[in-house]
């Protein structure tokens, strides 16, 4: 008579499913963290635009919650296997393990294909790119090796604890490296203040340009932007200092926009919003951007019968 196979209870199902979900979430957050840090340490300079954020707040917050959940669920599973060893052969456990191995194997193959493709295609293998490839290789290979050992029942209680300890050290080291490269939460807050100031100055700059287009003259001060009854523009204020932004007319077609910045722009320009016309790079402290409007003569204005000036950057 064949031994009766263990049945999958609701507890078994959700413990195994929860562990895999926590694992996937942890891996995604960990790779997101590593990629963000690598992008900051070895930035790829673009010609005109930069998009994205160097904040590591979300991946770190995700790791703080989901990695301990994964450790806890794996501990509960190992505890149940010690009491009932047959539960290691539950269908749900084997299915989820094989799915994980399948995804890890595809990721590793894709990682290696990407490197070979870049090499054969003659593209530059930058330090940042190679570090990202290495990060994926180390993380996914670690997951693959752990679960292939687990499904082959090669893991003892001691080796399981060693794997968990190595994973813990790797995650903690990644978080520490992230804060070392990008800065503490306080530094991130100061950077976000600076980013908001740049956004506010860009909005003010657009309104000054619109004002000139309408009146063919620069405003004497920022209050002039609010005097038009048809203009619903709300003048922004520096949220950090609670002070108004600086503006000064220095010529018929030139003016300054000023603000206080906590941090200087990175020398490579990787974190600064730029456009094809204007660079918003700045130094730390009080800094003013010199803007100008260059008038050109348009085709004849048919309503008035005279040329008019159109401002362009």
Residue 306 carries which DSSP code?
A: B
How distant, in Å, are the alpha carbons of 14, 16, 52, 187 from that of 96?
11, 8, 34, 41
How high is the pLDDT of residue 45?
52
How high is the pLDDT of residue 100?
93
How high is the pLDDT of residue 295?
60
How high is the pLDDT of residue 268?
52
How high is the pLDDT of residue 60?
92
Q: What is the pTM for the complete model shown?
A: 0.70
How high is the pLDDT of residue 54?
62
Strand pairing class (254-261; 246-249)? antiparallel
Residues near 22 by Cβ (< 8 Å), separated by ≥ 6?
66, 67, 69, 70, 73
How distant, in Å, are the alpha carbons of 53, 83, 231, 233, 278 from that of 246?
27, 71, 20, 17, 18
Instruction: Give CA–CA dist 284/60, Å, rounded.
Output: 27
Residues near 209 by Cβ (< 8 Å), separated by ≥ 6?
293, 311, 313
pLDDT tens digits for the chain (313 residues)? 455 666 778 888 999 999 999 999 999 999 999 998 998 888 765 443 344 446 788 899 999 999 999 999 999 998 888 888 888 888 888 999 999 999 999 999 998 898 888 888 877 788 889 999 999 999 999 999 999 998 888 888 888 889 999 999 999 999 999 888 887 888 888 888 999 999 999 999 999 988 898 888 999 988 888 876 566 788 899 999 889 999 999 988 899 999 999 988 876 544 444 444 467 889 999 999 999 886 654 554 444 444 444 444 4
How high is the pLDDT of residue 148?
93
């Amino acid at each position: 008579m064949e031994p009766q196979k263990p049945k999958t209870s609701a507890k078994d199902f959700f413990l195994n499913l929860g562990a895999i979900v926590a694992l996937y979430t942890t891996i995604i957050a960990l790779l997101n963290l590593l990629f963000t840090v690598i992008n900051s340490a070895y930035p790829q300079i673009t010609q005109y635009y930069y998009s994205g954020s160097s904040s590591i707040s979300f991946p770190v917050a995700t790791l703080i919650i989901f990695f301990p959940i994964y450790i806890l669920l794996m501990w509960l599973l190992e505890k149940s296997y010690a009491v009932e060893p047959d539960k290691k052969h539950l269908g749900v456990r084997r299915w989820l393990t094989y799915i994980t191995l399948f995804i890890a194997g595809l990721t590793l193959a894709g990682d290696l294909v990407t490197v070979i493709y870049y090499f054969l295609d003659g593209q530059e293998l930058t330090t940042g790119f190679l570090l990202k490839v290495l990060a994926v290789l180390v993380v996914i290979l670690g997951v693959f090796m752990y679960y292939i050992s687990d499904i082959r029942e090669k893991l003892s209680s001691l080796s399981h604890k060693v794997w968990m300890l190595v994973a813990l050290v790797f995650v903690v080291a990644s978080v520490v490296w992230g804060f070392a490269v990008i800065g503490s939460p306080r530094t991130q807050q100061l950077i976000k203040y600076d980013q908001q100031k740049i956004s506010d100055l860009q909005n003010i700059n657009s309104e000054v340009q619109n004002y000139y287009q309408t009146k063919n003259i620069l405003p004497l001060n920022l209050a002039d932007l609010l005097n038009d009854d048809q203009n619903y523009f709300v003048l922004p204020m520096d949220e950090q200092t609670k002070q108004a932004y600086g503006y000064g007319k220095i010529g018929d077609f030139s003016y300054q926009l000023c603000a206080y910045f906590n941090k200087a722009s990175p020398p490579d320009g990787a974190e600064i919003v730029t456009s094809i016309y204007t660079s918003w790079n700045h130094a730390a402290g009080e800094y003013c951007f010199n803007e100008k409007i260059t008038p050109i003569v348009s085709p004849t204005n048919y309503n008035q019968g005279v040329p008019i000036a159109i401002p362009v950057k």
